[in-house]
Structure 1
Amino acid sequence: MITQKSQLRRQLRQSRAATSIADRQSAAWALTHYPPILQQLRRGKKIAFYVPVGSELSAWPLIFLALQRGCLVYLPVVPESGRKLHFVRLNQHAVWHVGAYDIPVPFNTEHCQARDLDTVFVPLLGFDESLARLGQGGGFYDTTFAFRRHRQSWKKPRLIGLAFECQRVPALPCEPWDLCLDGLATELSFYRPI
């Protein structure tokens, strides 16, 4: 299964990278019009996003919209050791620096635990009809939100993937620790699990 996932990651990275700049920008702005996303972006809600790296779908239009709507916006910080992300507040006082994997992160003393977030918008390489998620392979999101697997009904925070339609595959190979998403948005539609 590891070889299968590695091959799939390589193919999906190539597909994603082939998306034109104009299509990337159009897709990122299209997400700001989906009612299921707008319902999440309410004043005072703790919402986490990601800083797009490489060919990832840009979350910036949603970040700006969330700030405009009065959300408390957080970004993940990859730890120097271990796989558990922590989340730092993005506001006008944040000073940016380069973190692990050359990902820009704001330096701010205000943090939020993963359990206290209301919604998390996550990057990914691939997804399928059941909204299984294939990430980069580091296991950071799977580890950080592993506590959700032990809950019977309450699934806070909601996990919503952001991707291009070209990242959709018929079925993903899944391990027991792989996260499933509560929703997923592409330039064409907002998907819910089947």
Structure 2
Amino acid sequence: MKSRRALRSEMRARRRAVCEPERVRMAGALARHLGASLRVRGARRVACYLSNDGEMRLDPVMDFLRANGRQVLLPALHGDGLWFLPYDRDTRLAPNRFGIPEPVVTGRARCRARDLDVVFMPLVAFDTTGNRLGMGGGFYDRTFSYLRHRAFWTKPLLIGIAYEFQRLESLPSRPWDVPLQGVATEERLYRFDA
């Protein structure tokens, strides 16, 4: 099995190689899959992300959510975790320490991770059991670490967002990795929870 570092390098290169017209087409297909999901349609507060480094775009998904009266939030780095802030087209953004645009933290209301209904998470690779390989910073894992004890917490639903080619048969996991309940690709929605 390849190392996590080698997998990251390979999958990031494949993501960046997707041409823009294909990226737009796949983002539209992804939005249709997510729009048909009853769990997503019933959500009130949904955390998304702004695509970076070839990640699957969520613009059509965010448009769908807003058109249906849902609150869209974006992550913002805070220490070694994430805050979630409301996002619309007028939200002021600034690059974080990794150069990724995020909402400027002001007096705006922050949403605690536990108060989100659904979180769409970027990823580098995923496997058939819900393991996620991220960029390696651990921000999502630390923010949602309380979900490893799922008997006590049921929110939010964690859904990875990926291209179909990012699916692997298995991934090496670490004790601190927080598993996904699903992954949405341009081809389908995978469910890993019961």
Deviations 1:119-162 (A, max 9, x none): 00000000011121000000000000000012316421000111
Alignment of 1:116-135 (within 5 A): 116-135=115-134
Letter in 2 for 1:89: P
Give the one of 86, 92, 95 matched to 2:92. 95
Q: In 1, distance between residues paired with 2:60 and 2:90? A: 20
Q: How many residues align?
A: 190
For 1:83, the equivalent position in structure 2 comes to 80
Q: TM-score, normalised by structure 1?
A: 0.90
TM-score by length of 2: 0.90
Q: CA RMSD in A?
A: 2.0
Q: Is the 8 A contact 2:15 2:53 kept in 1?
A: no
In structure 1, runs of 5+ residues without a counterpart are: none
The change in CA–CA distance for 1:6 and 1:92 in structure 2 (over 3 A counts) is closer
Once the two structures are TM-superposed, the CA of residue 42 in structure 1 deviates from its matched residue by 4.0
**1:106 Cα deviation after fit:** 2.4
Provide the residue aligned with 1:136 in structure 2: 135
Partner of 2:81, secondary structure, is: coil
Q: Tell me the SS of whatever aligns to 2:50.
A: coil
Distance in 1 separating the partners of 2:36 and 2:155: 16
Deviations 1:12-37 (A, max 9, x none): 11121222222211111111212554
1:190 corresponds in structure 2 to 189
AA at the equivalent of 1:91:
D
- Asked if structure 2 preserves the Cα contact closer than 8 Å seen for 1:41 and 1:47, the reply is no
2:31 counterpart letter in structure 1: T
- The C-alpha deviation readout for 1:60-118, integer Å capped at 9, x for no partner, is 11111111111111100012xx3210011113652222223111122351210111100
Bigger mean CA deviation after superposition, 26-35 or 85-94: 85-94
Unaligned runs of at least 5 residues, structure 2: none
Q: Match of 1:99, as an amino acid?
A: N
Partner of 2:46: 47
Cα pair 1:94 1:106 within 8 Å, conserved: yes
Partner of 1:101: helix, strand, or coil?
coil
Q: CA 1:135 to 1:184, structure 2 compared with 1: closer, same or farther past 3 Å?
A: same
- Measure the CA separation in 1 of the matches of 2:38 and 2:49: 17
Q: For 1:145 and 1:36, how far apart are their aligned partners in 2? A: 26
Residue 104 of structure 1 corresponds to: 101
Determine what percentage of the aligned residue pairs are the same residue.
38
Q: What residue identity is the alignment partner of 1:152?
A: A
